[in-house]
Chains A and B, each alone.
Chain A
């Protein structure tokens, strides 16, 4: 559906997007993740044709942005960050204007506006000036704008930023509903959001793609290792490390600094394909140490994200 090759964007000397290659299939919900200033918005803006890339090519279906940008714009519905709509217009007039520009008229246009009003829950605010709407409502009008032509590709730049938790859930529901049939690309720096809505996550940092895959793939343990932390009382750290290293399956054991006096903390690394927690427990049980903590470190998206994007 979308094929991006060597996409690069310079702002004067600053390289915002650095040779991005990306293939997006139809029907995927792709989350573009990254810290602020990573190049998410710039990438999306190039996809939507608002910015010209400094280098590289974007192909949507069979169209290239250099040859037929207009055809691509017809295929894409776009909601920029914080929905910058025409403030002085009434919601209905605005949607009507967009529908006309999208080439609709008469009965078809009317029906589509009503459909979208229901879908984005805009019925009660159709007569209001956009200026007077709250951020969440504006976002929903923006979403209606993006979906006006029932586009095959929907691009949303931080669709839930600045919304309250209820609104976030509403918007996510809408996105998921659309994502069943359409290709959706959304950018966010809220990790739980990406986890909750996206089939595939692309992490960008400093203009480069540093990770790409489903949440499961990304959170699968790094280098096939898994970490277990233990907290023990009534024993010295060296003794614990020496003992635990002899437990079958343990590849490394090390003492960690303790912040509570009397409690020794240590970390054990093992192969990921084997759960060694029962063995560790048995080893500790054979002594007179007191076990106060035994936990396997779960790698969620947040840890991955921090590992990958840390300076």
Chain B
């Protein structure tokens, strides 16, 4: 576990060394800020529901950018070889890198806390629902990060890793809006694999074990697949 934490701290610091992190943060804040506040005063409701509703889709684009380098870059540069010949297990590496990505996604969200503070100043904000939303956002980031990590472990090309992860994450994000393409019989299954449906439940402030289980399962599957992919090499 100690090794995993060391890898986590190295990877997390690494994010702030490269300019990509700051670009991602800026773009994320501009896009979500604009989409959220452009309609905020029209709806005239002092809550952050509309902001959280954006997250499944926006994170599906942002998280793969965060995770794409985690393995691909190491494989490409060759430092992967050094990493694997240090006394660390695959599990340490995966957990360390995964936590770093989730923590960075969390760091991106920190500035948006100011939205909550401003809104609570102009109206009556439901803090329970808001905190639920942030919890959901972290879980969502975890599920996406595990998928992104897996995509990154497959290839030495970061762009490919990013696009593969985006395709899977965006699919999970929007599949519940495409239900009319699917036959009646599998609609329940499709709704269940949709990240948005589970996320929106939590974002309403309802923390249901089914939704928690969903995100934990997706994250676990992603990480397990990463482990298999590392063993394969």
A residues with a Cβ closer than 8 A to B are 45, 48-50, 70, 73-74, 76, 78, 80, 82, 84-89, 97-98, 100-103, 145
User: Do A86 and B79 have beta carbons less than 8 Å apart?
Assistant: yes
Take A84-B79, A86-B79, A88-B17 as given contacts and tell me if A101 and B88 are in contact as well, using a CB distance cutoff of 8 Å: yes
Among the interface residues B10, B80, B85, B89, which one has the most CB atoms of the partner chain A within 10 A? Answer: B85
User: Do A88 and B10 have beta carbons less than 8 Å apart?
Assistant: no
Task: Kindly state the separation between the CA atoms of A261 and B27 in the bound complex, as whole angstroms.
Answer: 81
Residues on B with beta carbons closer than 8 Å to the beta carbon of A102: 86-87
- What mask results when residues 51 to 89 of chain B are scored 1 for a CB within 8 Å of chain A, else 0? 000000000000000000000000001111110111111
Interface residues in B71-122 by Cβ distance below 8 A to A read 77-82, 84-89
- Counted as pairs of residues, one from A and one from B, with CB atoms less than 8 Å apart, the total is 52
Task: Kindly state the separation between the CA atoms of A100 and B10 in the bound complex, as whole angstroms.
Answer: 11
Take A50-B85, A73-B86, A88-B17 as given contacts and tell me if A82 and B78 are in contact as well, using a CB distance cutoff of 8 Å: yes
Chain B residue total in the interface (Cβ 8 A) = 19
Take A50-B84, A88-B17 as given contacts and tell me if A101 and B77 are in contact as well, using a CB distance cutoff of 8 Å: no
User: Do B81 and A84 have beta carbons less than 8 Å apart?
Assistant: yes
User: Do B85 and A76 have beta carbons less than 8 Å apart?
Assistant: yes
Report the minimum CB–CB distance from B92 to chain A (whole Å).
9
CB contact between A70 and one of B6, B14, B79, B87 (< 8 Å): that residue: B87
User: Do A80 and B6 have beta carbons less than 8 Å apart?
Assistant: no
Task: Kindly state the separation between the CA atoms of A173 and B137 in the bound complex, as whole angstroms.
Answer: 56
- What mask results when residues 178 to 213 of chain B are scored 1 for a CB within 8 Å of chain A, else 0? 000000000000000000000000000000000000
CB contact between A80 and one of B3, B7, B10, B81 (< 8 Å): that residue: B81
Report the minimum CB–CB distance from B35 to chain A (whole Å).
32
User: Do A101 and B3 have beta carbons less than 8 Å apart?
Assistant: yes
CB contact between A88 and one of B14, B78, B86, B87 (< 8 Å): that residue: B14
Residues on A with beta carbons closer than 8 Å to the beta carbon of B18: 88
Take A48-B85, A49-B85, A88-B14 as given contacts and tell me if A80 and B78 are in contact as well, using a CB distance cutoff of 8 Å: yes
Residues on A with beta carbons closer than 8 Å to the beta carbon of B86: 73, 98, 101-102
CB contact between A85 and one of B6, B14, B17, B79 (< 8 Å): that residue: B79
Residues on A with beta carbons closer than 8 Å to the beta carbon of B88: 101
